[in-house]
Structure 1
Amino acid sequence: MSSRDDLAVVRRLYAGFAARDTAAIGAVLHPEVRVYQAGELPWAGTYEGPAGVQAFLGALLGHVDPEVEVVDLFAAGDAVVQVGRSRGRAHATGRTFDASEVHVFRVRDGLVVRFEAFVDVAEFRRALEPVSPAARAR
C-alpha cells in the first residue's frame, strides 16, 4: 500500500471515532492491532486485539468525552503521524480540557496494526482530578 492509502485508512479511523461508530472503527483494525496510551491516565497502557481496542475506548470514554481535532496528518516513513488537539469534558468533575496530542499509526494490509497516543497528560489530569474543598474555598 502507498502512503496515500495508509493516510486514508487513518482518516477512516478518525471518522469512525468522531461518529462513535464502533463498526466503522472495527472495520479498519488489523486482528493483531495494539494500542498504547502513554502517561499516567486511567486509560493508559497497552491494549491488544480488537477486544483490547474496545476496552481502551471504554476506559477513555468512561472518563472523558473527547473530540479530536486533526491539525496535521502525514506519512513519515512507514508511520502515519497525527498532530492535533483533544478537547472535551471529564465526566466526574465536569471540567473541560484542551490537550495537545500526537498519534502514531502503523498500517499493515490496509488496516491499523499499531496506534500510539501521546497527549498532554497534565492537561487531562487537571480536568480529571477533583478540586479539594480547601482549594474551592480560596
Structure 2
Amino acid sequence: MTTTLAALQKFFAAEAAYITEGTNFDAMGACLDPDVVMYQAEHLPYGGEWRGPDGIEKFMVAMSRTWGSLEFIEQRFVVDGETVVIYNRGRMLARATGRLLETSVMQLMTFRDGLIVEIRPFYLDTAAVLEALAEDRRTVR
C-alpha cells in the first residue's frame, strides 16, 4: 500500500507541475505502465480514450491548453491491493476565460508492478467544467 500511495503522490505532484509550470512529462511518464489507458468523459475538450505513455502525454498537452493551473485542495485515497479510489477536490484556472473552477473528481486507478495501468476519472459536475471553459456561457446549457 505504501508503494502505491507514494507512486500516486509522485504522479499527482508531477501532474500539477506540468499544468501549472509547464514542466516536462518525464516525472509523470515514470509512473505509467507501458499499457496505461485513461478514459475521459467524451464531451470534455480533452475527452476520449488515451493509450500508452505517449497518449497520456498528448492528453496532458490538451489538458494544459485548457487549464492554466491545477491545485489539489484535498485528496483522499482508498487502497485495495492494486486498485485505488481517489477523491480529488481542486481548483483549476481556465486559460481561455480566466474563470477559476473548484470541483471534485473521483478516480479509479489500477496499478501493476507499482505503475499506473488504468485511469478512470468521474467528474462531480461536467456541466460546471464546461461552463468555466465556455467563452460564451449561453452555449453551455
Per the normalisation by structure 2, the TM-score is: 0.83
1:124 counterpart = 2:122? no
- Count of aligned residue pairs for this structure pair: 131
Q: Higher Cα Rg: structure 1 or 2? A: 1
Percent of aligned pairs with the same residue?
A: 34
TM-score (norm 1): 0.85
User: Shift in Å at residue 118 of structure 1?
Assistant: 1.3
Give unpaired runs (5+ residues) of structure 1: 134-138
Could you tell me whether the CA contact under 8 Å between 1:39 and 1:118 is conserved in 2? no
Q: Secondary structure at the match of 1:19?
A: helix
Give the structure, 1 or 2, with the largest relative contact order (CA under 8 Å, sep 6 or more).
1
Alpha-carbon shift at residue 77 of structure 1 (Å):
5.0
For residues 132 and 75 of structure 1, the distance between their equivalents in structure 2, rounded to whole angstroms, comes to 39
Residue segments in structure 2 that go unaligned for 5+ positions in a row: none
Give CA-to-partner distance per residue, 1:78-124, whole Å, 9 cap, x none: 41111022312111111111111111110101111111111121111
For residues 13 and 64 of structure 2, the distance between their equivalents in structure 1, rounded to whole angstroms, comes to 16
| Alignment pair present for 1:57 and 2:60 | yes
1:9 maps to a residue whose letter is: A
Q: In the alignment, residue 47 of structure 1 is paired with which amino acid?
A: W
1:32 is aligned to 2:35: yes
Residues in 2 aligned to 1:38 and 1:124: alpha-carbon distance in whole angstroms: 11
Can you list the C-alpha shifts for 1:58-83, whole angstroms capped at 9, x where unaligned? 11111112223343112035411110
For residues 67 and 118 of structure 1, the distance between their equivalents in structure 2, rounded to whole angstroms, comes to 18
